Amino acid sequence: MSAQGLQFQYWEPRVEKMPRAAIEELQLTRLRAAVDWALRTPFYRERLGKAGIKSGADIRGLSDLRRIPFTTKHDLRDGFPYGFLSIPRDDVLRLHASSGTTGAPTTIYLNAADIDRWSNFVARCIYGTGCTRADVFQNMITYGLFTGGHGFHAGAERVGMLVIPSGPGNTTRQFRLMQDFGTTVLHATPSFLLHVESKMKEEGIARESIQLKKAFAGAEPYSEDTRRRIEGLLHIDVYNSYGLSEMNGPGVAFECQAKAGLHLWEDGYIGEIIDPDTLEPLPDGETGELVLSCLCREASPILRYRTRDLSAFYTEPCVCGRTHRRLRRITGRTDDMLIISGVNVFPSQIEEVVMGMKEVGNNYLIILEKDGALDRLIVKLEVGPDIFMDDARPLNALREKIRRTLQAMITINPRVELVEPGTLPVSEGKAKRVQDNRPRDV
Ligand code: AMP
Ligand code: ZN
């Protein structure tokens, strides 16, 4: 099929173009099964029990979704490590965690069927942008506990692309790989893609020496202007990729070739937009907090998860013919979580580290800036009264200790600046600890 001169291709045409009524019927069947899985976890046995839901059969129609209480990140942390596990531990094949969490992480578990379904969703996203087995895919995103690396790796292999598991960083090596193997598709955070472009210029890499056609960019918010800028600079198509570890990771919602919103795969997820204050559902078209229920995971069922991400559903159907509703690109969050180079950081994690050190004084400031295209985290701290600012050696040792401890906690390497007691601004009301100086539309 074609529209606007585009050739659309579908990984699973029957599912992707399923009539709405059939999608909803499928959702209901899968929601009942998901409730049954959930009832095997200590957390939901209690939570759903209180709401009078004793079995999946108690869900009579999709409107009964509203009887299920919300689940929050806080709940997940409280349930750490196994409060949300629904199967015997011996049947778990893998675990993943939210980026940046090293303390009390929000962890999800996957069995063989879960990994299989997840990989299929990512393959659907990749294939829907026009990729084929002839493509060479360089996965420039973190592997490890973070879901982005492994999720895309598996999806791209399923499409049959040649996968280069490069991970992020070291642009010189990235360029070598692109040139040596003829990379056609990249996956990275949007800021890393911008960084790649400036490094290309700096290192004198000719555009003709690489064969790039597309990139998938996600893990952090970015604007339409940023997308256009990356596309213009690198001469490629950029597709927005949205996901979160609580819902498996990538493969939740993705742009098709029309690049007009992200199709939420509604055979795997139920999406709702709620008013974050009243918690009441909002009609399609209105902006609010995205709430997601995972219908495609047995080992860690998570229902009505408050993502804290702000979005809205488009109301018109997409020109590509897919019937799964599209989400508007995420514009922000309803909590104070910071996304620094794609890594989730809560100011409270930083506070916990610095306020736990007796050498640190009473005030600190978290500053976010751009260093070229990349994010830079600066933590400015007042030293305690016993520290002498003119004694360089202990001061350097303290700075290094704070830097190391913070990096161990949040995985980001910050720049630590120490200042005299009483020199950081004191606000009269609620302390303003975060100064985000990153321009919104880079
Ligand atoms: P994680 O659980 O570490 O994968 O982080 C998930 C969070 O990253 C989401 O809840 C969003 O806040 C953010 N995120 C992921 N993809 C995007 C995207 N395409 N646009 C904006 N924010 C995103
Ligand atoms: Zn579409």
| 8 Å CB contact between 251 and 265 | yes
Q: What average pLDDT does the segment 365-392 reach?
A: 92
> Does residue 245 have its Cβ closer than 6 Å to ligand 1?
yes
Residue 221 vs residue 304, higher pLDDT: 304
pLDDT, position 352: 83
> Does residue 188 have its Cβ closer than 6 Å to ligand 1?
no
Nearest listed ligand to the Cα of residue 305: 1
Would the pLDDT of 247 be above 80?
Answer: yes
Would the pLDDT of 104 be above 70?
Answer: no
Confidence of residue 1 (pLDDT cuts 50, 70, 90): very low
Atom of ligand 1 nearest to the CA of 333: 12
Q: What is the Cα–Cα distance from 359 to 379, expressed in whole angstroms?
A: 15
pLDDT, position 226: 85
Would the pLDDT of 11 be above 70?
Answer: yes
Helix-strand-coil percent breakdown of the chain, rounded to 5? 35, 25, 40
pLDDT, position 268: 98
> Does residue 344 have its Cβ closer than 6 Å to ligand 1?
yes
Tens of pLDDT, residues 260-317: 999 999 999 999 999 999 999 999 999 999 999 999 999 999 999 999 999 999 989 9
> Does residue 220 have its Cβ closer than 6 Å to ligand 1?
yes
Nearest CA to ligand 1 atom 5: 244
Calculate the average pLDDT of the chain: 93
Nearest CA to ligand 1 atom 12: 309
Nearest CA to ligand 1 atom 4: 244
- Phi then psi for 422, rounded to 5 degrees? 80, 10
Q: What average pLDDT does the segment 409-432 reach?
A: 85
Burial letters for 110-124: b for 16+ Cβ neighbours within 10 Å, e otherwise? Answer: bbeebbebbbbbbbb
The pick from 96, 220, 338 for probing ligand 1's pocket by mutation, whose C-beta has the most ligand atoms within 8 angstroms, reads: 220
Confidence of residue 17 (pLDDT cuts 50, 70, 90): very high
Confidence of residue 193 (pLDDT cuts 50, 70, 90): very high
DSSP 188-204: E-HHHHHHHHHHHHHTT
CA distances from 121 to 243, 294, 343 (A): 11, 12, 23
pLDDT, position 254: 98
pLDDT, position 115: 98
pLDDT, position 429: 63
Q: Could you tell me where the beta strands, DSSP code E, fall in 170-236?
A: 185-188, 214-218
pLDDT, position 422: 84
Q: What average pLDDT does the segment 109-134 reach?
A: 98
| 8 Å CB contact between 94 and 87 | no
Matching fold, domains 1-335 and 337-436: no
Residue 427 vs residue 234, higher pLDDT: 234
Tens of pLDDT, residues 326-360: 999 998 888 889 999 899 998 888 888 888 888 99
Nearest CA to ligand 1 atom 21: 221
> Does residue 241 have its Cβ closer than 6 Å to ligand 1?
yes
Nearest to 360 by CA among 385, 384, 392: 384
pLDDT, position 388: 85
* C-alpha 22 – ligand 2 centre gap (Å): 18
CATH number for the segment(s) 1-335: 3.40.50.12780
Task: Identify the weakest region by mean pLDDT among 102-111, 229-238, 412-421.
Answer: 102-111
Count CB neighbours of 20 within 10 A.
12
Report the share of the chain in percent with pLDDT over 90.
81
Q: Would you put residue 268 in left (φ > 0), alpha (ψ -120 to 50) or beta?
A: alpha
What are the residue ranges spanned by the domains of the chain? 1-335, 337-436
* C-alpha 248 – ligand 2 centre gap (Å): 22
pLDDT, position 85: 97
> Does residue 218 have its Cβ closer than 6 Å to ligand 1?
yes
> Does residue 309 have its Cβ closer than 6 Å to ligand 1?
yes
Would the pLDDT of 180 be above 50?
Answer: yes
pLDDT, position 430: 63
Q: In what order do the strands lie in the sheet with 162-164?
A: 162-164, 136-139, 185-188, 214-218, 237-244, 249-255, 262-264, 326-327
Task: Identify the weakest region by mean pLDDT among 97-101, 135-139, 405-409.
Answer: 97-101
Burial letters for 282-316: b for 16+ Cβ neighbours within 10 Å, e otherwise? Answer: beeeeebbbbbbbbbbbbbbbbbbbbbbbbbbbee
Residue type present at position 57: A
CATH number for the segment(s) 337-436: 3.30.300.30
Nearest listed ligand to the Cα of residue 411: 1
* C-alpha 308 – ligand 2 centre gap (Å): 24
Q: How far apart are the first and last CA of the chain?
A: 35
Q: What average pLDDT does the segment 135-163 reach?
A: 97
* C-alpha 280 – ligand 2 centre gap (Å): 28
| Length reported for the chain | 442
Place of tokens 């495609």: 296
The pTM score is 0.90
Q: What is the Cα–Cα distance from 32 to 169, expressed in whole angstroms?
A: 43
Atom of ligand 1 nearest to the CA of 221: 21
* C-alpha 126 – ligand 2 centre gap (Å): 13
CA distances from 426 to 364, 421, 432 (A): 10, 12, 8
Q: What average pLDDT does the segment 65-70 reach?
A: 98
Q: Which residues, in sequence order, are CB contacts of 30 under 8 Å at separation 6+?
A: 267, 295, 296
**Burial (CB count <10 Å: 0-12, 13-18, 19+), residue 347:** middle
Q: What is the Cα–Cα distance from 119 to 163, expressed in whole angstroms?
A: 14
- Phi then psi for 184, rounded to 5 degrees? -110, -25
The pick from 76, 106, 339 for probing ligand 1's pocket by mutation, whose C-beta has the most ligand atoms within 8 angstroms, reads: 339
Q: What average pLDDT does the segment 386-413 reach?
A: 92
Q: What is the Cα–Cα distance from 232 to 219, expressed in whole angstroms?
A: 21
* C-alpha 2 – ligand 2 centre gap (Å): 11
Give, for 292, the enclosing helix (H) or strand (E): strand 288-294
Would the pLDDT of 440 be above 80?
Answer: no
